[in-house]
Structure formats: structure tokens, C-alpha cells
Amino acid sequence: MLAGIKTFIFDCDGVVWRGDSLIDGVKETLDYLRKDLGKRVFFVTNNSTKSREQYLGKFTKLGLDVEAEEIFSSSFAAAAYLEQTQFAKTGKKVYIIGEQGIEEELALIGVPYLGGPSDKAKVADMSPGSAMPHDADVGAVVVGFDRHVNYYKMQYAQLCINENPGCLFIATNLDAVTHLTDAQEWAGNGAMVGAIRGCTGKDPIVVGKPSSLMIDYIVDKYGMAPSEICMVGDRMDTDIMFGKNNGLQTMLVLSGVTTEEKLLAADATSQPDCYAESMASFMA
Amino acid sequence: MLAGIKTFIFDCDGVVWRGDSLIDGVKETLDYLRKDLGKRVFFVTNNSTKSREQYLGKFTKLGLDVEAEEIFSSSFAAAAYLEQTQFAKTGKKVYIIGEQGIEEELALIGVPYLGGPSDKAKVADMSPGSAMPHDADVGAVVVGFDRHVNYYKMQYAQLCINENPGCLFIATNLDAVTHLTDAQEWAGNGAMVGAIRGCTGKDPIVVGKPSSLMIDYIVDKYGMAPSEICMVGDRMDTDIMFGKNNGLQTMLVLSGVTTEEKLLAADATSQPDCYAESMASFMA
């Protein structure tokens, strides 16, 4: 199988690391795939709270030698979508529900933004007769995971989407839950996006997994066929589905949330093309 | 038409009052309907921030003589649903996303609750390894409009709905926008419910308009046929649809958000059975 594959796309949590710990054998496997076999590798995460640069810091801290261009965080995906659609040329701004990762990615492509961490403590004046002012130049609302989501941000996003003609509604992802800590599941960006969906009646453009945007970007930019790409992940319902929906080869690793028992019990349509204990199995 | 109608259900905002001002002729019309014609009247509002008792205070302040039993706020509807399903017998508690109205209604039916205004300033500990504790005895989450919605409340609700077996998810209403002030539209409870939907993947039980719960309650309790009830409202898409979906007679009044032009331009299926300038037209 390895022979026909030119590129590997790795999910991060449960594949490369668990929380803040590198998974055994990852460093050696990446070296082997790149240096010995000449494969290209990418890393993809739906987490939007960090930018590519911030992720690069995490990879480096874990002793992995990775380029920023190899990292596809959903914060980057949001910026890539705006670049693709030449948003900067409109002269409009972005309102952010989300954290620093989105701010950094927008700054890199020269798109002005407001909201995000700056609106953390803001409270709308709801006294009789009052209206919350909003910027008529906001041409897109980007919604990513936001630990400090509040009513002010929801109302600001609602006003932009409902009252600014043509305003885009972009979601980094729709994940119901996320793994902020290993100890439990945490409400994910599905909550923030659901809030804006619920007060606007509109559906977002999704840029992270399972949207095809990142695959289209890689296929376009590096001129590869989807069948030459293998998606490696630890989740059947996101990573493997994402790969299958986009015509990629798929590999499940058991180093994350899916057990072999769960994998074998799943129905045929959701099975990966192959599976392995962990990334270290590539070396075996 | 009046002859066949035994009961009138009035929407409040745009029909009885606008913000804090009584609409002209409402007092006289209510007296006429009740005293001269012997009709029964009810008032229905999707606003859950106040309880029946608090609404009664508003009616009294505006000089209207109304009984608490005639008021159906969606906060009351949530409590009525829990009563109907004998929730109190389970010994379980309710987690509230919402305001004082829901707390007061739950207190009246003897159901213990937590969350709501008390969780306004709470912040989850998201440091490595930490888990947010939640009460395994929560058997229902009630989601109503909440100016102080935050990530803590979303995560608490997510944990209860996803981890407490059989935990109910009840929404007072799904209104996308609400009229906190006359000056603009404000993100409504659709935002709060959307957030919980988005992080649980579950659909709520809706107790306010356009759910039939309130009509079933009135039909049951007072032994009336739906065809003997007339719904009077100012919104085609909520009040009139609510009436039509439940087999009621419908009347649109032009004292709220719908203009005669908009009414006449709407398609035939959404037309009310009749329309009038305002409630005062009953007297004409």
C-alpha cells in the first residue's frame, strides 16, 4: 500500500500526540517516511484556538522537525478560504468568535478583524430603546471554539450576518465535543456555531474536517491525486469519514480514542483501508 | 365569527403592549370580551425570562385586571411539561440555562434546580487533566433565553445531557430573534438552544410556541375544542402559524410587526382567518 501513496495527512491528537505528550515512535516514523521513502506529510487539526505558528511551536517543543506549511489547523483553513475567495480585495473586516489562532491567521493574510478575545468581557446595553452598534463593514463572521463566548458576541455576529448584505458565516468546524483535557469531553465548536445558526437561521461554510476544503487546497497547490494521499487518524466518524468522503486512502491508528474491538464492530462502509497500532507500525 | 369563539389567546408584545406601553383600547376590549360577551381569555408569550407572577405584575402595572392562570409564559410551559410528565416523582433536579422566570416556575412545582443566574460568572477549570464536575442527579436541562450564557453553562448542560442517562433537553422556544428593545432585533433563545444542540447532537422538546403543548393544556384543562379558540397575534410566522398548526381560528392585528402590505403580499396558506387594526377593533 505504501508504494502508491505520495502523501500522508496525519490527524494530531491521538495520532502524533496525546495532550502534551508525544506518542512513541512518531519522530522516527516521520523521519523514515520523509527521508527514506521521500513521502510528503501534512498535519491536520480542527482545533482553531492556535495558529499554524503556534502549532509549529508545539511540534518543535515535542522535538519534531516540521514546517509551518505542513500544518493545517482550522484557523489556517478559515484564512485560506478567505484568500481563495479574494476577501481582502473587498476591503471588508472579519468579526471573530474564537481565540488567538484565528486572529493570527487573519493578520498573516492582511485581513482586518475585530471581536474574539477583545470582546471577552463586553456586555450589551439592553436598557429600553437601546441598540447595540455594529460595524457595517464586517463582511464575514468566523466562528471557532471560544472559551469566552458570551451574549455580546452572539448578538454582534447575528447583527453582522442578518444586517450586513452578503456577510459570510464561516465555521472552522462543527465538532460537538473536543478534548480540552483528557479527563472528560468538553463542549466543542458545535456549540458556538450552533448558537449563531440558531439566531440567524443560516448554515455556515465549514472549512475544517470533514469539509473538502483542505484536500482541495493540497490537491491544487501540490498537484496530487486524492488517491495518492492517505489520511491517518484515530477517529472513525471524523478522520476516516473525512478521508473516504474525499477519495483518499485511509488508515486508522489505535493510539487514540478507537479500540480494535470498536473498529471491528463498526459496519463495513465506515472501515478504513487499513489499520495499525500506532504510527510506529510504519517502521515495522 | 365572534359567535363561534369561546376563548381568545392573545400574544403579548405587539398585541397587548409594545415594550412597556399598553396599546390603545386593550383594557376596554378585554372588559368587553370577558364581561359583555362572556369569553375566556389567555395570554401567551415565548419570553421565559419572567414567571407568571412576574408577568402578572406587568399586567397590573399597565392597569389590566388579569389572573395568573390566564398567563402562559414559556417559563410556565416548561414547568407544566415537567408536571405533566411527573418529573417531581423522579427526585431529580433541573439544570437551567435561563433567567429568573424559569427558577420561579420550578420552585412553584417543587422541582429543585441549579444553574441559571447562579452560574453567571462561573469559569470551568480547563487546566491539564481537569474535569468539570456535574451533578449526576440532574434529570432535565431547561434552556431559555439567557443574557449571561457562557461556556461553563454550555459545558454543564452538555455533561448532563450526554452523561446522565435519560436526561431531558427542554427548550422554552426556538425563536431566532427577540425584541429586548424596540431599537433592533436581538439574538433570541434560538442561540442558547442552538449551542446545546450543537454540542450534544440532540434535538430539544420545545414547550413554547409553535409547540402544541400550551393548546393541549388549555383544551385538556378547560374542555374546549380547538375550533372554539382564536389565536390573536401580530406575527404571521409564529402566532398565525401556531394557530393554524393547532386547528385554531386565527386573527392578525396590525399593531405589531406586520403591516397590511406585508400581510396582503403573503401567500394564501399563511393568511389568518381575519385581521384587524388592533385589539380595539373588537369594539368597533
List the beta strands (DSSP E) in B136-266.
138-143, 168-171, 177-178, 186-187, 205-206, 229-233, 249-253
Distance of alpha carbon A101 from alpha carbon A50, whole angstroms:
4
Decide if pLDDT at A28 tops 80.
yes
Structural domains of chain A sorted by starting position, each given as residue range(s) with its CATH number in brackets: 2-46+210-283 (3.40.50.1000), 82-206 (3.40.50.1000)
Q: Would you say B51 and B76 are in contact if contact means Cβ atoms under 8 Å apart?
A: yes
| A155 contact residues in B (CB cutoff 8 A) | 186-187
Nearest-CA residue of chain B relative to A21? B128
What is the least distance, in Å, from the CA of A206 to any CA of chain B?
A: 14
The per-residue pLDDT for range B214-246, each reduced to its tens digit, is 899 889 888 989 999 999 999 898 899 999 999
Decide if pLDDT at A1 tops 90.
no
Q: Would you say B50 and B58 are in contact if contact means Cβ atoms under 8 Å apart?
A: yes
- Look at A197 and B194 and tell me if their CB atoms are within 8 Å: yes
- Look at B151 and A187 and tell me if their CB atoms are within 8 Å: yes
What pLDDT, on the 0 to 100 scale, is given for residue B270? 87
Instruction: Give the mutation candidate from A154, A192, A202, A203 for the B interface (greatest B CB count, under 10 A).
Output: A154
List residues bridging with A17 in a β-sheet.
A13, A22
State yes or no: is A13 an active-site residue: yes
Q: Is A137 annotated as a binding residue?
A: no
Q: Is A13 annotated as a binding residue?
A: yes
Chain pair A-B, CB pairs under 8 angstroms: 143
pLDDT band at B36 (very low <50, low <70, confident <90, very high): very high
Decide if pLDDT at B1 tops 80.
no
Instruction: Give the mutation candidate from A122, A172, A199 for the B interface (greatest B CB count, under 10 A).
Output: A199
Distance of alpha carbon B148 from alpha carbon A131, whole angstroms:
18
Omega before B210 cis (within 30°)?
Answer: yes
Decide if pLDDT at A146 tops 90.
yes
Q: Which three cell numbers stand for residue B230?
A: 382564536
What is the least distance, in Å, from the CA of B94 to any CA of chain A?
A: 19
Q: Known binding site for Mg(2+): residues of B?
A: 11, 13, 234
Burial of B18 (0-12, 13-18, 19+ CB in 10 A): middle
Instruction: Give the mutation candidate from B145, B154, B156 for the A interface (greatest A CB count, under 10 A).
Output: B154
What pLDDT, on the 0 to 100 scale, is given for residue A48? 96
- Look at A187 and B155 and tell me if their CB atoms are within 8 Å: yes
- Choose the weakest-confidence range: A266-270, B194-198, B273-277: A266-270
Distance of alpha carbon A272 from alpha carbon A270, whole angstroms:
7
How many CB atoms lie under 10 A from the CB of residue A225? Answer: 11
CB-closest option in B148, B184, B194 to A195: B194
Q: Give mean pLDDT, residues A146-166.
A: 98
